[in-house]
């Protein structure tokens, strides 16, 4: 004799009840899981304190930024992208590879200027950032490899505690991580080399200051996406 014979339909009723519960759980949890996955991909998982875990909530002023992290040197924003972040500089280029702006551990790291650069006033300055999902950090640099995007979005801004600059996109291409013509800061701007080795380039004359934005193309190679920009329109930064 089995249970179904003792209590007719009991197991069927129980199975139907659990099936309804599972359907309800799926309907309730699926949107939550998708929400968490989306925020993890964009580097925004965890607490939402100021500039935490890669969140780009808009420039808050350097006084607040210095309170959080004295290594801050600039704030960069690029039109048409998610790039709207603080930039740090330290004595070691490895310091911020896996550390958020607030100092907490974070795989997305923080945008950082090459340690050999004194600042954007150098003739040639490099800023590095991870290629994160959903366009977080420097994840949107790959879009400049698309001709339509390259033509449409040409501007950005770089703020420092002393001066503000207008960014104009000059060229975009893929280079080897060990290319000394590209990854050689503080010296002569490799303008001719850039023009000869990029398919997307516009003529902006001979800029006094070139800013290179660099990120990985993927996890499987030494290729790097580099977007070259000129810094123009220098003006005194309004103290905040």
The CATH number linked to 167 is 2.40.260.10
Instruction: Give me the pLDDT at residue 25, please.
Output: 37
Q: Considering the domain boundaries, does residue 11 fall inside one?
A: yes
| C-beta of residue 7 within 8 angstroms of C-beta of residue 13 | no
Q: Are 112 and 197 within one domain? A: yes
Q: Considering the domain boundaries, does residue 57 fall inside one?
A: no
Q: Are 70 and 140 within one domain? A: yes
Q: Are 108 and 198 within one domain? A: yes
Q: Considering the domain boundaries, does residue 104 fall inside one?
A: yes
Long-range contacts of 102-105 (CB under 8 A, 24+ apart): 102/49, 102/50, 102/51, 102/52, 102/68, 102/69, 103/69, 104/46, 104/52, 104/53
Q: Considering the domain boundaries, does residue 190 fall inside one?
A: yes
Q: In the chain, which residues have pLDDT < 70?
A: 1-57, 186-187, 204, 240
Domain count within the chain = 2
Q: Strand, helix or coil at 9?
A: coil
| C-beta of residue 113 within 8 angstroms of C-beta of residue 88 | yes
Q: Are 36 and 78 within one domain? A: no
Q: Are 152 and 217 within one domain? A: yes
Q: Considering the domain boundaries, does residue 51 fall inside one?
A: no
Q: Considering the domain boundaries, does residue 77 fall inside one?
A: yes
From CA 42, how far away is CA 235, in angstroms rounded? 33
Q: State the DSSP code for 201.
A: E
Q: Are 105 and 202 within one domain? A: yes
Q: Are 74 and 37 within one domain? A: no
Give residue 231's domain range.
62-236
Q: Are 174 and 84 within one domain? A: yes
Q: Are 111 and 37 within one domain? A: no
Instruction: Give me the pLDDT at residue 237, please.
Output: 85
Instruction: Give me the pLDDT at residue 47, please.
Output: 29
From CA 110, how far away is CA 126, in angstroms rounded? 14
Q: Considering the domain boundaries, does residue 231 fall inside one?
A: yes
Tokens of 236: 């005194």
Q: Considering the domain boundaries, does residue 56 fall inside one?
A: no
Instruction: Give me the pLDDT at residue 26, please.
Output: 43
Handedness of CA 35, 41, 42, 48 (dihedral sign): positive
Instruction: Give me the pLDDT at residue 240, please.
Output: 67
Q: Are 66 and 184 within one domain? A: yes
Q: Are 193 and 76 within one domain? A: yes
Q: Are 100 and 211 within one domain? A: yes
């Amino acid at each position: 004799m089995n249970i179904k014979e003792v209590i007719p339909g009991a197991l069927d009723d129980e199975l139907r009840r659990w099936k309804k519960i599972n359907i309800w759980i799926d309907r309730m949890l699926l949107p939550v899981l998708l929400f968490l996955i989306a925020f993890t991909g964009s580097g925004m998982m965890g607490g939402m304190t100021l500039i935490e875990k890669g969140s780009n909530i808009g420039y808050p002023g350097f006084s607040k930024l210095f309170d959080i992290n004295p290594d801050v040197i600039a704030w960069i924003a690029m039109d048409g992208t998610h790039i709207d972040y603080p930039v740090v500089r330290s004595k070691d280029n490895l310091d911020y590879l896996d550390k958020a702006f607030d100092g907490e551990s974070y795989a997305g790291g923080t945008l950082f200027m090459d340690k050999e650069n004194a600042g954007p006033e150098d003739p040639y300055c490099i800023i590095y950032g991870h290629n994160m999902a959903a366009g977080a950090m420097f994840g949107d640099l790959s879009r400049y490899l698309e001709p339509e995007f390259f033509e449409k979005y040409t501007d950005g801004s770089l703020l420092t505690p002393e001066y503000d600059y207008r960014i104009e996109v000059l060229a975009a291409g893929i280079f080897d991580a060990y290319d000394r013509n590209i990854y050689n800061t503080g010296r002569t701007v490799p303008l001719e080399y850039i023009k000869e080795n990029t398919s997307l380039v516009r003529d902006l004359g001979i800029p006094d200051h070139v800013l290179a934005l660099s990120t990985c193309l993927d996890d499987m190679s030494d290729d790097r996406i580099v977007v070259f920009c000129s810094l123009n329109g220098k003006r005194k930064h309004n103290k905040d």
